[in-house]
Structure 1
Amino acid sequence: MLEALTADALDAVARRLADANLERATVEDAIERILRAFVAVGDRYAVLTSDQATLEAAHGELAAPLHEVLARGIETGVLRDDLPVEILYEFLAGTILKAIALNQQHRLGLEEASATAASFFLNGTRSRD
């Protein structure tokens, strides 16, 4: 049953990321879309966060489009270049998990959790130039 829930969550997030057209969006908009995609399927995605091995596998499958956006952000000067993509990804993943948790606890709604998390992440990772 856990495998089916995991597959469903991965498929839902992957579909949302594909629908988001991240490659055509600005870096800022792409990050907002990424956060919204994950928070929107947060209830299903939450099952992945209960098991570290499952969480790491899920991130492995979903990491490519996120890495691409972060790399583009560094290359275009939108995001800071003193940290590698892998570190920015870890911060983004943590921000995603916290936004999901706040939404599930009904402390923030879907849009507010997504927008606040995107703002929080972007403000901390913007280029210092």
Structure 2
Amino acid sequence: MVRHPALRDRIAAGILDTAAAVLAERGESASMADIALAAGVGRATLYRYFPTRDALLLGLTRVAFEELRDRIADAELDAVPLREGVARAARAFIAAGRRYAAVVHVGKTYVEDPAEFDRAVAEPVRELIRRGVADGQLRADVPAEVLFEMFTALLERALQLVGHDRLGIEQAGAVITTMFLDGASAR
């Protein structure tokens, strides 16, 4: 048993990073044994840190949420023009990368507090889109919530492409921005 909290935290973080990569690559078919092997730990060690698959997914979701929350807050979406805000939001999600892709892949059932996730991560992006509709930069004939869903769909697909090395992180952010804004521009 690891007695030093800092070492224990590093081991847990390493397991979560590996789990994110394995889950992003293999999805639901990835087993705890696959994750332990990829992390270079025994299954007993993995289960000591994360006694169940649900505990592992909850831990991964928590870390992904914290990273996304911080990146969205740092992006200051409310303080920049629409195009820059969309680019910043895209970069924030893509930078969170594998962790977020793994969370998306296994679904939101593991989010501890969906209301907090919505408030801290989704709502700033929704507000950016509503602002774009209100000032005429985005289409008003499509509800803002639908535009938000389209934007998040682009994010999710871009994360998969990054995970499969078909797009680089910067390229993905730029593609999301131009695809969304050029496809959603006011006519």
How high is the TM-score relative to the length of structure 2?
0.64
- Aligned residue number for residue 26 of structure 1: 81
Q: 8 Å contact 1:78–1:126 — kept in the other structure?
A: yes
| Bigger radius of gyration among the two | 2
Q: 8 Å contact 1:13–1:41 — kept in the other structure?
A: yes
- Show CA shifts across 1:1-45 (max 9, x none): 211110110110110011011111101110011110001111110
- Aligned residue number for residue 111 of structure 1: 170
- Aligned residue number for residue 102 of structure 1: 161
Match of 2:100 among 32, 41, 45: 45
- Deviation of 1:117 after TM superposition, in Å, equals 1.1
Give 3-state SS (helix, strand or coil) of 2:147's partner: helix
Matched, 1:83 2:176: no
Q: How many residues align?
A: 128
Unaligned runs of 5+ in 2: 1-55
| Distance in structure 2 (CA, Å) of the matches to 1:43 and 1:22 | 23
- Deviation of 1:70 after TM superposition, in Å, equals 0.3
- Decide whether aligned partners of structure 1 residues 59 and 127 sit closer, same or farther in structure 2, where only a CA change above 3 A counts: farther
Equivalent pairs: percent with the same residue? 34
Aligned alpha-carbon RMSD (Å):
1.7
